[in-house]
Amino acid sequence: MNEQTKLKAAVLGASGYTGAETVRLLAGHPRVDAVAATGNSLAGKALSEIFPHLAGPTDLPVVKAEDVDWTGIDVAFGCLPHGTSQDLIETLPDHVRVVDLSADYRLRDANLYAETYGRAHLNPARTAVVKYGLPEWRGDSLRGEALVACPGCYPTASLLALLPVVNLIDPDSVIIDAKSGVSGSGRGLKEGNLFSEAAEGSLAYGVGQHRHAPEIEQELNSQAGRNDIGVTFTPHLLPMVRGELVTCHVRGDADQIQTALEAKNANAPFITVLPAGSKAPDTKHVRGTNNCRIAVYPDRVQGRVVIVAVIDNLVKGSSGQAIQNLNLMMAEDQAVWRELWTGYLEFYESKVSDEVYESTFQRLLTDGPYEPSGLIAWEGDEALGLVHFMFHRHCWRVENVCYLQDLFARPAARGKGVGRALIEAVYAHADQSGCPVVYWNTADDNATARQLYDRIAHKTQFIKYLR
């Protein structure tokens, strides 16, 4: 693609969560413009009437699919429900490339698709050859593809944890315990998603028959060169909006599994394999990002191993991964706009006022000798909220957000007390990156903050706010 050319994208089903997420993320893409948004039941409205956070440059009129002028569209993102997506995709002009976020092209066996989703596939020959778009595994094979099937959110987390080790584990003993926020069920009205039904409780659903299990088995068998691997997959609904956690129970050697995961993901920009013995990953650690964090633990029962993976179901589990796939289809670097993955999205409910964020941003601009392209921050929603605010209010991209928890694992911080470890870790990172530091705390006379400021003030900006 010519460096100066920007692709024109249509988002099919833009009135749903994944559709709106795709529109929002595309707003920052340097080489793609979202120019059409479909949503038949809400046609005639502006996207900002449905999702107020999309007001401004990202706003688009919602139209029916048949009213889109497809002659000017280069790529379509299929954000429609399973079964509905293929009905529209099969009618699109040949020149339109498609990334489909539904399940309609994930299963290569059309009979298995019909059995799993309750309807026949319109184009069995096509679904048999469509590439399965798990970017860390398909990579360059997606270049030039006309249609790519984006994996489901549960399969994404499960496969990133299991594919690198499928030949190191007992294939007859794979158990996946999965948990997701309610946005994974989509935006349609469902009784189980009502606040009074989902809040203050958790439940298993689709027990023994969830539709994502065949998708996971297909990819595990393909990687292992087998056809007999089956998984016990049980999803659970958690009373949170977004985030997904999978706990995989397998038989094998924890050290071998750790080594294999580290080797496979050494150069994967969005995958972090935590060092052995690390604190278990939390959905908060990836919320609003295209990242996946994986950790391996030996079980107390000899020969059993636990692999934990977390993603954001709406980003790495859907819209973010879809755009990552498009970048690969168009022969782009999959991390071409990795900086935007660190931004936070619509469901953020800030405990910090916009006024505080604005004053923080202004201090970043005026107090230092450079523009804030990165931050070092306490792990938590305040830092993500600031990144979100900076992008949406000022169109300012923060390319590097480094959390203190990650810094603690580095050699500079080992063998020291928490306060000293913080100082050493931040000092080392600030020395290398020149990133400003935003420090959120509850007490003005915090000794650690004072020492940290004294140590790094000459190197970088230091901004401290009280809660």
> For residue 429, is it within any domain?
yes
Residues 6 or more apart whose CB falls under 8 angstroms from that of 105 comprise 86, 89, 126, 127, 130, 147, 149
Active site residues: 153
pLDDT less than 50: residues of the chain? 1-4, 333-351, 369-373, 378-381, 399, 404-419, 440-445, 458-467
Q: Are residues 167 and 120 in the same domain?
A: no
308 plus 191 within the same structural domain: yes
CATH for 216: 3.30.360.10
**Are 299 and 377 in the same domain?**
no
Length of the chain measured in residues: 467
Verify that 293 and 380 share a domain, yes or no: no
What total of structural domains would you count in the chain? Answer: 3
Q: Are residues 169 and 259 in the same domain?
A: yes
Domain shared by 357 and 230, yes or no: no
CATH number of the domain bearing residue 35 = 3.40.50.720
pLDDT reported for residue 414: 42
What's the confidence (pLDDT) of residue 336? 41
Residues 247 and 176 in one domain: yes
The answer to whether residue 146 is domain-embedded is: no
Whether residue 306 sits in one domain with residue 187: yes
Residue that is written with structure tokens 């020969």 in the block:
303
d(CA 144, CA 352): 45
Rounded to the nearest 10 degrees, how much is the dihedral formed by the CA atoms of 378, 379, 384, 385? -60
223 domain-assigned: yes
Task: Enumerate the H helices of 10-142 as residue ranges.
Answer: 17-26, 47-50, 85-89, 110-117, 124-127, 135-138
Domain stop point among 262, 288, 313: 313
Final residue of a structural domain among 96, 129, 162: 129
- Domain residue limits at 376: 348-466
186, two tokens: 């989509």
CB atoms within 10 A of CB 282: 15
Could you report the per-residue pLDDT of 128-163, keeping only the tens digit for each?
999 999 999 987 788 889 999 999 999 999 999 999
Answer yes or no: is 410 within a domain.
yes
**Residue where the block lists tokens 């293929």:** 86
pLDDT of 363: 62
DSSP 360-377: HHHHHHHSSSS--SEEEE
Asked whether residue 145 is domain-assigned, the answer is: no
Q: What sign does the CA torsion over 342, 346, 348, 354 have? A: positive
Alpha helix positions (H), 208-337: 212-224, 254-264, 320-329
Q: What are the Cα distances from residue 388, in Å, to 312, 337, 381, 383, 398?
A: 16, 15, 10, 9, 9
Q: Considering the domain boundaries, does residue 280 fall inside one? A: yes
CA distances to 19, 43, 337, 378, 440 from 446, rounded to whole Å, are 44, 54, 37, 14, 11
Together in a domain, 122 and 162? no
The answer to the question of residue 209 being in a domain is yes
Structure confidence at residue 198 (pLDDT): 62
Q: How far apart are CA 165 and CA 195, in angstroms?
A: 39
Tell me if the pTM is above 0.85: no
Residues 6 or more apart whose Cβ sits within 8 Å of residue 3: none
Residues 352, 410, single domain; the answer is yes
